[in-house]
A = this chain, B = another copy of it.
Amino acid sequence: MRMKFPIVALALEIITIILFAVFVVYDDGKGHGHGHDPAHTSTVMYFPHIGLNLSMFQDVHVMIFIGFGFLMTFLKRYGFSSVGVNLLLAAFGLQWGLLMQGLWHLEDGKIKVNILKIINADFSTATVLISFGAVLGKTSPVQLLIMTIMEITIFSINEHLVANVLEANDVGASMIIHAFGAYFGLAVARVLYRPGLKNGHDNDGSVYHSDLFAMIGTVFLWMFWPSFNSAIAEPGFTQLTAVINTYLSLAACVLSAYAISSLVEHRGKLDMVHIQNATLAGGVAVGTCADMNIGPFGAMLIGLVAGIVSTLGFKYLTPILASKLGIQDTCGVHNLHGMPGILGGLAGIVAVALGKKKGGDAAMQAAALASSLGFALVGGVVTGLIMKLPFWGQPPDQNCYDDSIYWEVPEEEEEHEESLAHADHSKNKAEV
């Protein structure tokens, strides 16, 4: 680890900068054909929605860095890695995503970067952060950087296929981000299966404060999801529809997630794992048809069902996946992104079939869902096999879910207890 990680990280960044030097320029707005004077440097501001684009960009940015980062801090001793490695992967991923997505849309051999491009670059990192949730606590930073390169590259191919070849609708990316990221991550987790964790791990759980940190992530994701699902929608009525559908789907989802959590838990109590995750399933599931004319109640129905499916998944399906299929899904991304993502894809097929989207084609929607799942599973297996190579510093079982293998962890709290124990003339070193 000593030299591998710094070399890989620096090398990747330097290669990326060279690629940017060759391929990436600012978008001067001249190619957009809006009829403004192309020499006018203020052109872009004349678009009425530039303020909106920038504010939505910042909202999406918060979801990627605070939302995903803190959502994973629920583990008691893995908060540094959750929020810190999230930052690392997303910071690299957005650069890589800008390149990979841009290669499909070269103008004069250049990638012209603008606000919509950086929103899309942020989006591409979301796939990696979702997959990160599946393998959280069991992978090294170097392995995860490799996953980032592979996953964003494959994502960009599938995205191009879905958006430009199949011309399918997926404005909030239920299929191409959520389902894709989840099944990619689950495939990786399957390949990296650890029999040694079959009976759990002491650090694979939360403490009171770590659950509260995770709620910071949950609530920021929940709040800004309307921006996520509408950021690249067609400006105007369509975009506002995406905001409203997402707002309502998430609200309905909260009620069903709370209800089912209480229903299935011991003595009707609520389970923080469900609240932190299943309340967000409505945002995932409404993604594909967020900008369609499904009616406010249609969005709410989707959210209601997503909250139920997701909570039941956490309760009943995750343990089975681990014990029967060897898929150890740390954050339960199958329940938050996988099943709700498929639900979103199916809802999109139905909505398009019912004529809720002008020009939509239900068969292409179905093909888009199949493509996303196919690329995810095959790509995830291949990526998992590469990550499994023995020289990437994968942590041994006993060091899983523990920051101290990759981070300098402050000794204070434990020292404090030690000195307390010391005051009691007890030297039990196992404690500290």
Q: Point out residues on A near B: beta carbons under 8 Å.
A: 1-7, 9-10, 12-14, 16-18, 20-21, 24-29, 40-46, 48-52, 54-59, 61-62, 65-66, 69-70, 73, 76-77, 79-80, 83-84, 87-88, 91-92, 94-95, 113-115, 118, 141, 205-209, 211-213, 215-216, 219-220, 222-224, 226-227, 234-241, 243-244, 247-248, 250-252, 254-256, 258-260, 262-263, 265-272, 275, 279, 293, 295-297, 300-301, 304, 406-410, 412-413, 417, 419-421, 423-426, 428, 430-431
Contact = CB atoms under 8 A, between A and B. Distances in A.
Contact of A205 (B66, B267, B412): B412
Given A29-B237, A58-B59, A272-B408, A12 B95 contact: no
Contact of A10 (B227, B256, B272): B256
B205 A236 contact: no
A211 B77 CA distance: 12
Given A58-B223, A252-B95, A413-B207, A45 B48 contact: yes
A251 to B, nearest CB: 4
Given A275-B84, A417-B420, A270 B9 contact: no
Contact of A244 (B2, B5, B118, B209): B118
Contacts of A42: 234-237
A45 B239 contact: yes
Given A20-B297, A240-B114, A297-B21, A420 B431 contact: yes
B65 A219 contact: yes
Given A48-B50, A270-B408, A425-B426, 16 more contacts: A24-B295, A25-B295, A41-B236, A45-B239, A51-B52, A54-B56, A57-B243, A70-B216, A91-B250, A209-B213, A269-B408, A271-B407, A420-B420, A420-B431, A421-B423, A424-B426
A255 B54 contact: no
A113 B300 CA distance: 14
A408 B92 CA distance: 37
Contact of A5 (B51, B268, B407): B268
A271 B41 contact: no
A296 B20 contact: yes
Given A118-B247, A219-B83, A268 B20 contact: no
A2 B258 contact: no
A118 B251 CA distance: 12
Nearest to A238: B41
Given A241-B26, A251-B91, A208 B12 contact: no
A310 to B, nearest CB: 15
A254 B87 contact: yes
Contact of A79 (B12, B94, B208, B409): B208
Nearest to A265: B408
A66 B220 contact: yes
Contact of A297 (B17, B267, B295): B17
A394 B198 CA distance: 40
